Amino acid sequence: MAFSLFSSKNRIINLVLNDHSIRFVELKQANPPAAQKWCERFLPPGIITDGKITDLDSLSSILEECIDEWKLQRRHVRFLVPDPLVIIRKVSVPVDILDDEMKGYLYLELGSSIHLPFEEPVFDFYQLGNNGKTKDILLFAAPEQNVMEYANLLSRLKLTPVAADISPLSLYRLYHHLGRTKENEVLFTVQFDLTSVNLCIFEESVPLVMRQFSLPFNINHWELKQDSFTEIKYTGETEELVIQFEDILNEISKLSDFYRYTLTNEKKDVSKFLINGDHPMLPAIYDEMRDRFETSVEMLSLNTEAFNKQGNVPFTLLLSLGLALKEVK
């Protein structure tokens, strides 16, 4: 799964850009997962907004500085398609469509029987099963213009894009690689970042439904200390964060109920919440979810000594590490 725009290469760096940061990881080894090198750069507001590049010149200048400072020149790169751009949708197609015809069929049906909120998508699919008359397909799509804007920017800066992925799959890939998965598990992933939250429900390894929410972010209410990594401390009114968190917790409940009552007709329920993200208040969010929900809540973590003897890899980079495991057997 994910977007098949590029061919695969070796010695790949793994880049994650969102509305507030640029991060990269270079994988040293896969078993156990270990990072050889990692860095981060905080982005001022207004350069990337809701996943879309809104100030290309500034982003290009900052990324060029990062490439030079981190010594990433002329490297192959994987990157994540920002969550707000991604659609996951279940569609039905005639059962007689052959596997090698599926992509062409879906391309023809986009805009007619299959409707997306954007034109000219880049997409991939995963087959779920059939009832004898139709096949169920899980469609992953994003606007090609926005995805290629990232790819073209990286190319202009002398990097070579070789793969694009989506964050829930990267998160699940690390979770699976660490041997945490269980048979018949229904996993609800919560990627809680500083400026957005991504919710996704997996049956086994398949992301059936995903929701994305933006969080209000006023940089004047945060204290930033920038070193090799950015330390962020909230200085605004606590009540504002409480309201944000409460809204997201309500959305988590709604999506969980939607899965249980609408998607499975009460035949299945979420068996675990998996939390990850770069929000500075993530431990408090984790504690609140444990108090709020009867379902098991786990924060994604790993033995940091398996990473690098020189020190701990920040928890904010676990998503990048999941991306680095793409195509690793």
- Residue 35's pLDDT is what? 80
Query: Measured between alpha carbons, how far is 218 from 315 in angstroms, rounded to an integer?
Result: 23
Are the CB atoms for 61 and 76 separated by under 8 Å? Answer: no
Task: State in Å, rounded, how far the first CA of the chain is from the last one.
Answer: 15
- Residue 310's pLDDT is what? 38
Query: Measured between alpha carbons, how far is 14 from 325 in angstroms, rounded to an integer?
Result: 9
The count of other CB atoms within 10 Å of the CB of residue 310 is 6
Read off the pLDDT of residues 270-287 as tens digits, 9 standing for 90 and up: 999 999 999 999 999 999
Q: CA of 288: how far to CAs of 63, 214, 259, 285, 292, in Å?
A: 36, 20, 22, 5, 6
Peptide bond before residue 117 is cis, with ω within 30 degrees of 0? no
Query: Measured between alpha carbons, how far is 87 from 89 in angstroms, rounded to an integer?
Result: 6
- Residue 306's pLDDT is what? 41
Read off the pLDDT of residues 231-283 as tens digits, 9 standing for 90 and up: 899 999 999 999 999 999 999 999 999 999 999 998 999 999 999 999 999 99
Query: Measured between alpha carbons, how far is 185 from 174 in angstroms, rounded to an integer?
Result: 16
In the numeric block, the tokens 């790819």 are attached to 151
| pTM across the whole model | 0.90
Query: Measured between alpha carbons, how far is 55 from 46 in angstroms, rounded to an integer?
Result: 7
Q: What is the pLDDT along the chain (329 residues), one digit of tens a residue?
A: 555 444 444 578 999 999 999 999 998 877 777 788 889 999 999 999 999 999 999 999 999 999 999 999 999 999 999 999 999 998 999 999 988 899 999 989 887 888 888 889 999 999 988 888 899 999 999 999 999 999 999 999 999 999 999 999 999 999 998 889 999 999 999 999 999 999 999 998 899 999 999 999 999 999 988 776 788 999 999 999 999 999 999 999 999 999 999 999 989 999 999 999 999 999 999 999 999 999 999 998 865 444 343 346 678 889 999 999 987 65
- Residue 303's pLDDT is what? 57
**What domains sit in the chain, N to C, each tagged with a CATH number?**
12-85+144-324 (3.30.420.40), 87-143 (3.30.1490.300)
- Residue 299's pLDDT is what? 93
- Residue 312's pLDDT is what? 60
